[in-house]
């Protein structure tokens, strides 16, 4: 499919079968007859371990993002024990290393503020310890890209174990989907159609089990992308969190990590331009989260693969949406798994994939999907009957977003995909909260709601404020979607005609900073266009009058974030973490 694609890597047949323990990375810590290594060995023995436990065998790090405040990872204590069982079965030695947990539901202002912090931690934890290979345990949204980014930069053999989606929720006769049905029923509550008792019942039942959001939100999108990239065992992305199959997946991932250590299959063999293309095809065909665009950009740049938003749009024009999954479609992750999961879907698209990419299973992607089948053509559509003939997200450009912006077209009201309306502008999130439900707000169903100061620097941390609420007075009139434009992200479980990631963001003086209430804005998704109807002299006058915001952070992580985070179209990594220049290996200290 791609002229950008790297030459494919060879398959497991070429993987190293040399099981010489002297070549293990951990041998640098434990093998030498010197004072430092004496310290390493004697302190392992301090923990009651013996040579038979850890000498001459792969040491497998389990990077566990469990936390009492990560609601989606509450099964990870049990899963890490199961991973350990697999590692021991295969002749390795497990060491569990807790790393920062990014639980979407509890962190303010946004877990995105901390994705790069976890990525840095994962990289350094892998680099500084006697770890020959790693099992990366993540799931809740940003933990997936963060762990993968860290693994790319450390370049230690790694396998990703997704947390898995939670079970489907039911309320009366309805199947509830995480996030999506929260927004839906909140709108009904604001419209006066849902009483307190109904709302409390929904609160009690919508989070039915451990696991990640069971819509095709960011967590499920990123799990599918991890599988398509080749970083998980086949079938891992959709396996529900709390079924026995997920326990077996954990054990198998542990076993496979030991082989990875001996075979020395490193992330640089997995994260090629071809594999990045496969990730984009996957994001499009599942109708995946717009957040994945930012994360794929960051992963590619870590791996030294040149990638721009144009590549997403090129691929989106060729890839049909086959996953009929909420919020863009009808079904949930449990249905997707039963229907054949990602492998089944990808088998239907194999002509659009680089099937010769290596995966952590030791097989190529083509080999891992070869025997997959689809059990339900409603959930995983056929090529002849897609949800949409082109991909689920589009990149728009124009004078309001010179560096691009994105929209999840598959989740937009078809009536609004070509629209021109009068802007109603909110300067920041507090302004939005204060005025959106003001009965005197001059707004109607054709207005274009605009929010600024919500980008990577402006918020800071690029929060999920992009699905701006519909004003209550319009909800009561039956309005359920409007064109909304911001430099924010939105939750992968959200929906609506929301133009996101406007770049450059308003905080840096992007054109969004200059829009005023009453200006006309036009979007045309088919033409990939966003246009701010403003006289050029007027725009220049506003530009001359614009005052850059005062920087708020002088110390700590926030100051580092503000100084180094890149814009949305660049992946929002820290500029100093991009690229794949080899770092030092700490074996001389
Ligand atoms: Fe954790 Fe949605 S809140 S995956």
506-541 tens-digit pLDDT: 999 999 999 999 999 999 999 999 999 999 999 999
Rounded Cα distance between 487 and 455, Å, is 5
Yes or no: say if 542 and 452 are a contact pair by the CB < 8 Å rule: no
Q: Is residue 258 part of a domain?
A: yes
**Residue 579 predicted with pLDDT over 60:** yes
The pLDDT score that the predictor gives to residue 528 is 95
Ligand 1: residues whose CB is within 6 Å? 72, 104-105, 140-141, 178, 212-213, 217, 219
148-178 tens-digit pLDDT: 999 999 999 999 999 999 999 999 999 999 9
Asked if 254 and 351 sit in the same domain, the reply is yes
Query: Could you tell me the two tokens for 232?
Result: 């998980």
Residue 163 alpha carbon, nearest atom of ligand 1: 4
How many angstroms does the Cα of residue 149 sit away from the middle of ligand 1?
A: 19
Asked if 336 and 464 sit in the same domain, the reply is no
Rounded Cα distance between 229 and 226, Å, is 5
Q: Is residue 196 part of a domain?
A: no
Q: Is residue 469 part of a domain?
A: yes
The pLDDT score that the predictor gives to residue 10 is 35
Q: What residue's CA is closest to ligand 1, atom 3?
A: 104
372-396 tens-digit pLDDT: 999 999 999 999 999 999 888 999 9
List the CATH number of the domain containing 495.
3.50.30.80
Domain count along the chain: 2
Query: Could you tell me the two tokens for 496?
Result: 């609506």
Which of 328, 353, 369 delimits the end of a domain?
369
How many angstroms does the Cα of residue 72 sit away from the middle of ligand 1?
A: 6
Q: What residue's CA is closest to ligand 1, atom 1?
A: 140
Query: Could you tell me the two tokens for 351?
Result: 């002509």
Q: Which residues share a beta bridge with 483?
A: 448
Rounded Cα distance between 55 and 118, Å, is 30
- CA 3 to each of CA 7, 200, 230, 390: distance values in angstroms, whole numbers, following the listed order: 10, 53, 20, 20
**Residue 574 predicted with pLDDT over 60:** yes
Asked if 365 and 398 sit in the same domain, the reply is no
37-70 tens-digit pLDDT: 999 999 999 999 999 999 999 999 999 999 999 9
191-197: long-range contacts, CB 8 A cutoff, minimum separation 24: 191/472, 191/475, 191/476, 191/478, 192/476
Report angle CA 11, 17, 20 to the nearest 5 degrees: 150
Domain that holds residue 528: 394-545
Query: Could you tell me the two tokens for 48?
Result: 């009651």
Asked if 363 and 404 sit in the same domain, the reply is no
The pLDDT score that the predictor gives to residue 5 is 38
**Residue 581 predicted with pLDDT over 80:** no
Rounded Cα distance between 271 and 158, Å, is 12
DSSP state of 411: G
Provide the pLDDT confidence category of residue 102 given band limits of 50, 70 and 90.
very high
Q: Which residues share a beta bridge with 64?
A: 98, 137
Asked if 296 and 424 sit in the same domain, the reply is no
Residue 70 alpha carbon, nearest atom of ligand 1: 1
Provide the pLDDT confidence category of residue 11 given band limits of 50, 70 and 90.
very low
The pLDDT score that the predictor gives to residue 578 is 93
Asked if 431 and 314 sit in the same domain, the reply is no
Mean pLDDT of all residues belonging to the chain: 94
Q: Is residue 517 part of a domain?
A: yes
The pLDDT score that the predictor gives to residue 587 is 64
Q: What residue's CA is closest to ligand 1, atom 2?
A: 213
How many angstroms does the Cα of residue 217 sit away from the middle of ligand 1?
A: 8
Sheet holding 133-138: strands in order across? Answer: 93-98, 59-64, 133-138, 158-162
Residue 220 alpha carbon, nearest atom of ligand 1: 4
Question: Which of 138, 178, 326 has the most ligand 1 atoms within 8 A of CB, as the residue to mutate?
Answer: 178
Asked if 398 and 342 sit in the same domain, the reply is no
First to last CA, the chain: 46
**Residue 8 predicted with pLDDT over 60:** no
Asked if 404 and 281 sit in the same domain, the reply is no
| Average pLDDT score over residue span 362-367 | 98
| Average pLDDT score over residue span 283-304 | 97
Residue 491 alpha carbon, nearest atom of ligand 1: 2
The pLDDT score that the predictor gives to residue 494 is 87
Asked if 349 and 487 sit in the same domain, the reply is no
How many angstroms does the Cα of residue 141 sit away from the middle of ligand 1?
A: 6
Residue 104 alpha carbon, nearest atom of ligand 1: 3
Question: Which of 66, 67, 72, 177 has the most ligand 1 atoms within 8 A of CB, as the residue to mutate?
Answer: 72
Q: Is residue 118 part of a domain?
A: yes
Provide the pLDDT confidence category of residue 589 given band limits of 50, 70 and 90.
low
How many angstroms does the Cα of residue 34 sit away from the middle of ligand 1?
A: 47
- CA 280 to each of CA 223, 373, 406, 468: distance values in angstroms, whole numbers, following the listed order: 13, 22, 14, 26
- CA 204 to each of CA 55, 188, 200, 363: distance values in angstroms, whole numbers, following the listed order: 50, 18, 6, 43
Asked if 320 and 441 sit in the same domain, the reply is no
Residue 179 alpha carbon, nearest atom of ligand 1: 2
- The pTM is what? 0.95
The pLDDT score that the predictor gives to residue 328 is 87
Asked if 213 and 343 sit in the same domain, the reply is yes
How many angstroms does the Cα of residue 403 sit away from the middle of ligand 1?
A: 29
Q: Is residue 572 part of a domain?
A: no
401-417 tens-digit pLDDT: 999 999 999 889 999 99
**Residue 549 predicted with pLDDT over 60:** yes
- CA 35 to each of CA 30, 42, 199, 586: distance values in angstroms, whole numbers, following the listed order: 11, 10, 64, 16
| Average pLDDT score over residue span 482-495 | 94
Asked if 339 and 425 sit in the same domain, the reply is no
Mapping DSSP to helix (H, G, I), strand (E, B) and coil, where does residue 262 land?
Answer: helix
Burial of 275-287, coded b for 16+ CB within 10 Å and e otherwise, reads bbbbbbbbbbbbb
């Amino acid at each position: 499919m791609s002229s950008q694609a790297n030459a494919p890597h060879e398959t497991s047949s070429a993987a190293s079968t040399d099981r010489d323990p002297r070549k293990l990375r951990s041998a640098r810590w434990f093998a030498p007859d010197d004072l430092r290594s004496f310290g390493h060995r004697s302190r392992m023995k301090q923990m009651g371990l013996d040579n038979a436990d850890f000498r001459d065998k792969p040491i497998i790090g389990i990077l566990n993002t469990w936390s009492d405040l990560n609601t989606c990872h509450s099964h990870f204590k049990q899963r890490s024990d199961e991973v350990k069982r697999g590692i021991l079965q295969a002749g390795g030695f497990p060491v569990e290393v807790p790393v920062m947990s990014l639980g979407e539901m509890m962190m303010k202002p946004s877990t995105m503020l901390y994705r790069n912090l976890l990525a840095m931690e994962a990289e350094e934890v892998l680099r500084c310890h006697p770890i020959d290979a790693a099992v990366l345990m993540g799931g809740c949204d940003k933990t997936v890209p963060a762990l993968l980014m860290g693994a790319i930069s450390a370049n230690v053999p790694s396998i990703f174990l997704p947390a898995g989606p939670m079970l489907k929720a039911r309320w009366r006769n309805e199947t509830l989907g995480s996030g999506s049905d929260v927004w839906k029923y909140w709108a009904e509550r604001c419209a006066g159609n849902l009483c307190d008792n109904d709302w409390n019942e929904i609160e009690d039942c919508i989070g039915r089990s451990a696991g990640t959001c069971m819509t095709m939100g960011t967590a499920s999108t990123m799990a599918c992308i991890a599988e398509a990239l080749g970083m998980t065992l086949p079938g891992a992305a959709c396996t529900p969190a709390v079924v026995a199959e997920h326990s077996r997946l954990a054990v198998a991932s542990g076993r496979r990590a030991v082989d990875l250590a001996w075979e020395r299959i490193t992330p640089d063999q997995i994260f090629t331009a071809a594999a990045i293309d496969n990730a984009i095809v996957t994001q499009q065909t599942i109708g995946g989260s717009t957040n994945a665009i930012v994360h794929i950009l960051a992963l590619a740049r870590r791996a030294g693969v040149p990638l721009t938003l144009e590549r997403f749009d090129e691929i989106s024009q060729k890839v049909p949406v086959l996953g009929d999954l909420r919020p863009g479609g009808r079904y949930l992750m449990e249905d997707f798994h039963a229907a054949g999961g990602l492998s089944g879907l990808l088998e239907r698209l194999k002509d659009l994939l680089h099937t010769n990419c290596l995966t952590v299973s030791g097989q190529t992607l083509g080999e891992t999907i070869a025997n997959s089948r689809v059990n339900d053509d409603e959930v995983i559509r056929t090529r002849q009957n897609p949800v949409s003939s082109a991909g689920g997200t589009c990149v728009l450009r124009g004078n309001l977003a010179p560096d691009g912006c994105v929209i999840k077209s598959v989740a937009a009201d078809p009536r609004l995909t070509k629209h021109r309306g009068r802007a109603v502008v909110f300067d920041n999130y507090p302004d939005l909260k204060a005025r959106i439900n003001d009965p005197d707000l001059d707004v109607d169903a054709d207005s274009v709601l605009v929010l600024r100061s919500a980008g990577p620097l402006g918020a800071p941390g690029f929060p999920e404020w992009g699905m701006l609420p519909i004003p209550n007075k319009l909800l009561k009139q039956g309005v359920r979607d409007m064109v909304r434009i911001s430099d924010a992200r939105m939750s992968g479980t959200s929906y609506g005609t929301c133009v996101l990631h406007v770049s450059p963001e308003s905080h840096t003086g992007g054109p969004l900073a200059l829009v005023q209430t009453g200006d006309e804005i036009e979007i045309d998704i088919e033409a990939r266009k966003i246009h701010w109807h403003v006289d050029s002299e007027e725009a220049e006058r506003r530009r001359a009058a614009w005052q850059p915001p005062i920087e708020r952070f002088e110390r700590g992580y926030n100051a580092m974030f503000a100084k180094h985070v890149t814009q949305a179209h660049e992946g929002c990594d820290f500029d100093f973490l991009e690229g794949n220049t080899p770092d030092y290996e700490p074996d001389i200290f």
